[in-house]
Structure 1
Amino acid sequence: MTIRKRPPAQDIGRILGGKMAPEDFIKMMNVTELNCDTLEKIGEDEAEDFVTVCESLGDAAFTYAEKNEQEGHLETASEYYFNANALYRLGDYGIKSIDEEKYRIYGKLVDSFKRSKQLMEKQEVHYIEIPFEGKEMPAYLLLPENAPKDVPVVICVVGATGFKEENFIIAETVFNRGAAAIIFDGPGQGECNLNRELYLTENNYDDAVLAIVKYIKNRSDLGNKIGLAGVSFGGYLATSAACRYPEEFSGLVVRGGCSQLDQLTMHSFAGIDKFYMYNFLNKFNVETLEEAEAISHKMTLDDVLKNITCPVLVQHTEEDPVIGTVGAKTIYQNCSSKDKEYYEISGNVHCGNNEAQKTCTYGIDWLLDRLK
């Protein structure tokens, strides 16, 4: 068996920015990559399989959470269910094929996350399902207690490989500032892709976002000021929805996004040509790279960016090795918004994960300043 290593797209900022417990991070690194006491690299013949280690540590955290739940220590149980979820997320990310191992670990990921949020006493997290294309999209709604009926809502749009559980910190940042948030898996993402046969097409994600908007408008406890916050490929998807339905949105934040899908899928990364195109085979439900490329080539926003008139914040690193910088600058330059900002992050870590907290909080504060 080939020993699997930490995926190159899972940089340290991304891992810790997702709120993995430091103790679990140290345990994981100590046997797969780096002795955190001596800072010496783990030799190739000594390194353990990354996915196996993540699942094993996740199982240990899950067992400890169960024990504390049985003893009535619900806050501790919630924290350790979340720790388990963080480890399962990394394990899942390291599995390239869609097989029994993938389904098993992904199932644990979703289950442990739900258990964590169900036990939280300081945060109301509602699991909801939103009808779309004859199926349902799973989502989490965060609604502050005693929020006014006109509370603004941020729709959090996730990317190609980080789904609603990994990017939950974005929705949580919105909630902590007194606004409501919905974070969901849409076509080609997370649960929709693996368990619901809800695949991505050239333009169906726009209508998936519109389904979320309609859900918001049908609730009397949510306001009609709606913002979009998209991260990575989610930056493209959020921008696309704002181009197609500009009248629905009062603000847009694009973090690490692009104006053409090819800027992501045709880009080389970690020494691999078309690194991310392989991830889109199952998202598009096709079998060959040629089929995926044909769809990717059609997914471009350059001609419709002018439709966007709401406030726009584009956050992007100086040199993004995953997606480049051309698409982000094109969004900023070509949208029609009078209120817009290009927020450049030093370095070359995708989505500004080297400054994950500052990048996330700046973006949400900027958006809520406009929605409120």
Structure 2
Amino acid sequence: MITSCPSALRASARARTSNADSVPRRERFSAMCNCALVMCVVSDVPTKERTIGGRRTAEQNLWGVQPAGPMLFGRGCTPAREPATICLQCVDTQKGAAMSDDQSRPLDDEEVLRYWIPRLVADGGDPNDALAVRNRAATWDAWPDAWAELGDGYIAMGQDRLALGHQASAAAAYVRAAICYHFAQVVAFHLPELKTELQGRKVAAFREAAPLMSPPAERLDIPFGDANLPGYLRLPAGRDGPVPCILLVPGLDSTKEDFATIMEMAVQRGLAAFAFDGPGQGEVHPRILLGQNYEACIVAAHEAMAARPEIDAERIGTLGRSLGGIYVVKAAAVEPRIKATVVFGGAWDLGDWPAMPPLIRDGFVYATGADDEDDALARLSDVTLDGCISAVTSPVLVVHGRNDAIFKAHQAERIAAALPGNATLWMDEDGVHCCHNHAFEYRTGMVDWLDRTL
């Protein structure tokens, strides 16, 4: 079955467009954009309508501020440069879609708003932290230190709260520290030693948080060939017998720690969740690089969880984020015991490589340990669903944003079309990569779907 998105979202989308003419001009910008994070002052210039991504939108001016200004956007702010006509939802994703690898260039408000803030919030961060970084860092070179400084502040806060006996607050502070360290290192491909250091601080922060969570996150190392893969298992409280489990598979530049919000959603619904780092990811890099047959680590994780007495071995599903979305389908093709699969911002193959943002291509070079982009592609020649998707017989949910700048929407549509009897497609018409800008709807929706299906 192929659907455009959950019914509630479809209704919301229709309301945002069909009711535009009845909305006062000064309020129409936010109504059309559904831009929850950007508080903007709209000038009284005449409004004109345009179409982006198949939907009407109101194009009006909003005030921006200088890079070193006191806030990114805000009601009552003083214009410090020419008014812009761009916001998170009203940007043409084909122009400057970006995430450039030029680290010396100034930070770009469009880029921060369109991608980084939604992703930060979706993973459990505070949008105010992104605004603080934007106001401290004038260039991408300054981005790592600005984020690391915030992470250090959360570490100190966690230590203070723990000393006072407030474990829940301490856990939340440590998780936020991990998120900040992740954002600090994610663009630092040109500073490999700093990137490694910040990744280590991220790991350490989450380790502090794990036992303080309720229910706690258990640190595990699962066998994988001659090595082990690190992960965290959360089991729901008050369980009565074995429970279903979701295997959470990271993407190119995400790691096990980035699944904190989805793990919390899972245990609230009585599901176990196991997030782990595979080849080329998090703690495993550079010990094991991203390369051929990544899906083998998903099968290894399935075996490890199936052996746990707390988990029902017949009710284990997967959720793969971004690049992980390709691999969970490949895993379902070779491991029929996987009961359900969620492709979260994934793809059929790497055919969109030439149009991918430079930062993403840099990420592939880094994760594979390649010499250059051509070498990275050669090392990932098996990253395709060609020849294997027909073996998938279990239910598959495909979640994608029409404005995805990394994996284009046609990739998700191709997956769903290849599985007409067992695939469901949720396509958000104004969603960005992994629908980060509509995170609550889709993350809860994915976990609810797994809850029903498992």
Structure 2 match to 1:15: 120
Q: Deviations over 1:167-220 (max 9, x none)?
A: 3222222111111111100111111114xx1122221x2211111111122111
Q: Sort the Cα spacing of 1:321 and 1:92 in 2 relative to 1 into closer, same or farther, 3 A.
A: same
* Contact 2:317 2:450 (8 Å CA) reproduced: yes
Among residues 228, 238, 243, which one is paired with 1:136 in the alignment?
Answer: 228
1:233 is the counterpart of 2:323: yes
Query: How far is 1:58 from its partner?
Result: 1.1
TM-score for both structures, normalised by structure 2: 0.72
1:367 is the counterpart of 2:450: yes
Among residues 144, 147, 157, which one is paired with 1:51 in the alignment?
Answer: 144
Deviates more, 1:176-185 or 1:8-17: 8-17
Structure 2 residue runs of 5 or longer lacking an equivalent are: 1-102
Structure 2 match to 1:81: 174
Structure 1 match to 2:252: 160
1:283 is the counterpart of 2:364: no
Correspondences of 1:110-259 after superposition (within 5 Å) = 110-120=203-213, 122-194=214-286, 197-203=287-293, 205-224=294-313, 225-245=315-335, 247-259=336-348
Structure 2 match to 1:66: 159
The alignment covers a number of residue pairs equal to 348
Q: What is the DSSP-based 3-state SS (H/G/I as helix, E as strand, rest coil) of the residue aligned with 1:155?
A: strand
Deviates more, 1:321-330 or 1:351-360: 321-330
For 1:357, the aligned partner's letter is F
Q: Sort the Cα spacing of 1:65 and 1:293 in 2 relative to 1 into closer, same or farther, 3 A.
A: same
Identity %: 26
Q: What is the DSSP-based 3-state SS (H/G/I as helix, E as strand, rest coil) of the residue aligned with 1:145?
A: coil
Deviates more, 1:140-149 or 1:184-193: 140-149
Q: Which has the larger radius of gyration?
A: 2
Deviates more, 1:354-363 or 1:92-101: 92-101
* CA distance, structure 1, for counterparts of residue 354 and residue 423 of structure 2: 28
Q: CA RMSD in A?
A: 2.2
Query: How far is 1:93 from its partner?
Result: 0.9
* Contact 1:31 1:48 (8 Å CA) reproduced: no
Q: Sort the Cα spacing of 1:178 and 1:22 in 2 relative to 1 into closer, same or farther, 3 A.
A: same
Q: What is the DSSP-based 3-state SS (H/G/I as helix, E as strand, rest coil) of the residue aligned with 1:300?
A: coil
1:319 is the counterpart of 2:319: no
* Contact 2:402 2:430 (8 Å CA) reproduced: yes
* Contact 2:400 2:409 (8 Å CA) reproduced: yes
* CA distance, structure 1, for counterparts of residue 154 and residue 240 of structure 2: 38
For 2:126, the aligned partner's letter is A
Q: Sort the Cα spacing of 1:307 and 1:98 in 2 relative to 1 into closer, same or farther, 3 A.
A: farther
* Contact 1:302 1:330 (8 Å CA) reproduced: no
Deviates more, 1:4-13 or 1:165-174: 4-13
Q: Sort the Cα spacing of 1:23 and 1:353 in 2 relative to 1 into closer, same or farther, 3 A.
A: closer
TM-score for both structures, normalised by structure 1: 0.87
Structure 1 residue runs of 5 or longer lacking an equivalent are: 33-43
